[in-house]
Amino acid sequence: MTDGRRQVEAFFAKMVEDTALRDKVASIKGDENEVYTRMAAVAGEAGFDVTVDDLRASRSAFEEGAELDDDELDKVSAGCASVCTEVCGMFLGHYIGRQ
């Protein structure tokens, strides 16, 4: 992974915890060049060394490859269930969750 790509990844990771930053980027409008230019400026203001070419290249790489790992999808798709087992000796009054 190039340094530029790493900076882009880090910038997106920052937006996970900073909704104001995310909103700033989400509000950028214009043609592709205008959007990337302004986005690079916002990233710079937030402390990330990101160029327009980095953004363009990273988006292409993201679109080409499978950037999601299966674990991320599995966590969303599968629910979690409480399971009562033979070993529980305290079910009278013991809350074992939904059946």
Partner 1 sequence: MPARYARLTDQWLLRGWSDLPFAAVNWRNGDFRELGRNSFYVAQACDGRTDLHSAAFLPRHHRLLDVLIAGGIAEACANGDPVDPAQKYRRAENPLIRGICFSITSRCNLNCRHCFMEAPSNRHRDLTFADLVGLVDQFDRANVPEVALTGGEPLIRRDLPDVIHLLTGRRIGIAEVFSNGVLVTERILEEFLASGHRPYFKVSFDGCGAHDFMRGSRGCEAKVVRGIRTLREAGLPVTVITSVDRVSRDSMPETYELMKSLDVDGWWIAPPVEMGNWQGSTTGLSTAETISLCASVLRRWAADGGPFDLKLWRLGLYRKHESGEGRDADRVGDGVLPAPLFTAESWNCAGTHSRPYLLPDGTLLPCSGYTSTTLAGQMPNLLHRELSEVWNDPQLRDICDLRKRDLLARNDECASCEHFALCGSGCRVFALTETGDALARDPVACDLFRNGHIRRFREMSTAR
User: Interface residues with partner 1 (CB under 8 A)?
Assistant: 12-13, 15-16, 19, 22-23, 25-28, 35-36, 39, 59, 62-63, 67-68, 71-73, 75-80, 82-99
Nearer to partner 1, 35 or 49 (CB): 35
Encode burial over 70-83: b for 16+ CB neighbours within 10 A, e otherwise: eeeeeeeeeeeeee
What is the Cα Rg of the chain in Å? 22
User: Which residues touch 20 (CB under 8 Å, ≥6 apart)?
Assistant: none
Among residues 1 and 97, whose Cβ is nearest to partner 1?
Answer: 97
Q: Which is nearer to partner 1, 12 or 51 (CB)?
A: 12
